[in-house]
Amino acid sequence: MDNKTIFQKIIEKEIPSDIIFEDELCIVIKDINPQAPLHLLIIPKKPIPKLSEASKEDLKILGHLMLIVGNMSRKFDVDDAFNVIINNGEKAGQTVFHLHLHLLAGNNKLNLPK
Ligand code: 5GP
């Protein structure tokens, strides 16, 4: 049985995707179903299923992901206004159980609290 998530298959290049950036700890891809003009997914290479399962040993990875968000916001010239979302758990809308950060910017459809 194949237990790999879709993101694991993307990381291992088993399936193609629009890779924006890659380093030893993470990849950044465009979301296949964008909810904003810019919708990127920042994905650690380590298959942490969800944020609530991250541990102290993941400190470097978690910090790295946040810095990559900042880098991407500057790369795409949206550093003045963007949202970062992490869905944790099925009831919160998580569909892929490999931790990922959504970076959304532009005229997005989100109705977040002001
Ligand atoms: P979640 O709902 O788990 O927070 O987010 C999963 C995201 O992954 C969704 O926004 C969905 O559109 C995106 N996604 C699912 N499958 C693929 C895929 O094969 N390629 C890309 N680029 N994004 C995907």
Q: What is the pLDDT at residue 1? A: 53
Nearest to 6 by CA among 14, 41, 83: 14
Pocket of ligand 1 (CB under 6 A): 6, 17, 29-33, 41, 87, 93-96
- Output the CA torsion sign for 89, 94, 82, 71: positive
Per-residue pLDDT tens over the stretch 37-76: 999 999 999 999 999 999 999 999 999 999 999 999 999 9
User: Which residues does 68 contact at the CB level (< 8 Å), separation at least 6?
Assistant: 21, 23, 26, 28, 42
pTM (2 d.p.): 0.94
Give the whole-number percent of the chain exceeding pLDDT 70: 92
Q: What is the pLDDT at residue 94? A: 98
* Distance from residue 44's CA to the centre of ligand 1 (Å): 14
Active site residues: 100
Is residue 31 predicted with pLDDT exceeding 70? yes
| Mean pLDDT value across residues 1-21 | 92
Return the number of other C-beta atoms located less than 10 Å from residue 69's C-beta.
18
91/101 Cα distance (integer angstroms)? 17
